Structure 1
Amino acid sequence: MAEQSKKWILMVTAQTPTNIAVIKYWGKRDEKLVLPINESISVTFDPAHLCTTTTVAVSPSFQQDRMWLNKKEISLDGARYQNCLREIRARANDYEDEKKGIKISKNDWQNLHVHIDSYNNFPTAAGLASSASGFACLVFSLAKLMNVQEDNGRLSAIARQGSGSACRSLFGGFVKWVMGKEEDGSDSIAVPLVDEKHWDELVIIIAVVSSRQKETSSTSGMRETVVTSALIEHRAKVLSLYSLH
């Protein structure tokens, strides 16, 4: 990166809705890559009601990657965040803003740190899929910041590594998460089925009876189900044969 003033800051803000599964994915065949044991279909909420708003910024003056969620700083050390950051940086492209005097080559992104400010307009980790909208918004905003040229289908494979259902929040309407067959997860992506106008009279009512964080995370619940349930394999097989075709 050419010598530049450390005073510049480049920022992008994005907003992504959460989604609710009508045919749910429950259980992973690969924990690290977040690959499901069955395909799923979801409906995306109106972002005016349930969404995550994320602002990402980059500057040569930043000393480390940092993130704030709902105005509280959180750690980015976890594998879910690191996987998303790594995958987006690997796909970054050159960026130039002549008016601001900013010029970033694709290789510079590996050495530039980001600050992330994310906010949910609904209870977090309370069973309303905040991780879905959160990681979808994180990946989408970082991709815009770093001039990533891939479409939302390919970005969904990255968001999936943060939270499985996040891949579906990159599209509106009804969305299918294709489980895929490749070991590297490259074909486990979200694809839109129909847009939000397809079932225009559909209304989803959400009653929040508690905003407290749920005691058992989805990740833990799925892991326990895969280990202990005698029916989970049968469910996945039946879904793959009938439900989604």
Structure 2
Amino acid sequence: MSRASRRTVGSLAVMVLIVGAYFVSRGDADGLLEDLPTGGTSTAAITRDRVEASDLEAGSTQLERLDVAELDDAPGYEREQFGQRWADIDRNGCDQRNDTLRAGASEGKVTTKPGTHDCVVLEATIEDPYTGREIAFVKGENTVDIDHIVPLSRAWQQGAAQWDEDRREEFANTPENLVAVDASANRSKGDSGPEEWLPEAGRCMYVVQWIDVKTTYELAVTAAEKNVLEGELEACEGSAE
């Protein structure tokens, strides 16, 4: 092969590498990137968390049993309708906010306020299920929020408006509906349902928990909400253990 031919072949090879890298970075190559998150601004690929196959099966069964109805435009929603913020409903001497912070912290990475029986969390390293990152929590700083997986206003429109005050306070403080997460991720979610927003990471567990809370409290789902949940459960089957 002549020197000119070798230069031509070399140039073509470089072009192929550049074009290939471009499409990989865009996620256009088959199998390299999965669908992007519904909410948030990240363009990172979604890595679906591994969950038990039995959890997915249970979630699918529960979802089929939920009532399907459009959001009820019930008037009167206010946060106060759901009782005391961070009540101690499990009677362990610590409010649900601090219980949730400890539950979401990395083992051994929690500092509590002296004299509070290890209740009030001053600092912690939070394992955020919504972004897949560790977050440094310091009391008084706005780095970590306690999210209601099924938002209170959403619950109000799907059945909670008919509950009594005790039932609503229980719902607002039950550990099954609370999680410590990145503050910006939580605020991008707002009061959205899964048809409008899903986390970057931890989607499988998120939809399983969403369905479980809806089932426990007999809350309805919209048709669009159900459709997205069904799709996510199906997508999670490949990551099931």
Confirm or deny a common fold (TM above 0.5).
no
The structure that has the greater radius of gyration is 2
| Between structures 1 and 2, the one with greater helix share | 2
The one of the two structures with greater contact order (alpha-carbon pairs below 8 A, sep at least 6) is 2
The structure richer in strand per residue is 1
TM-score normalised per structure 2: 0.29
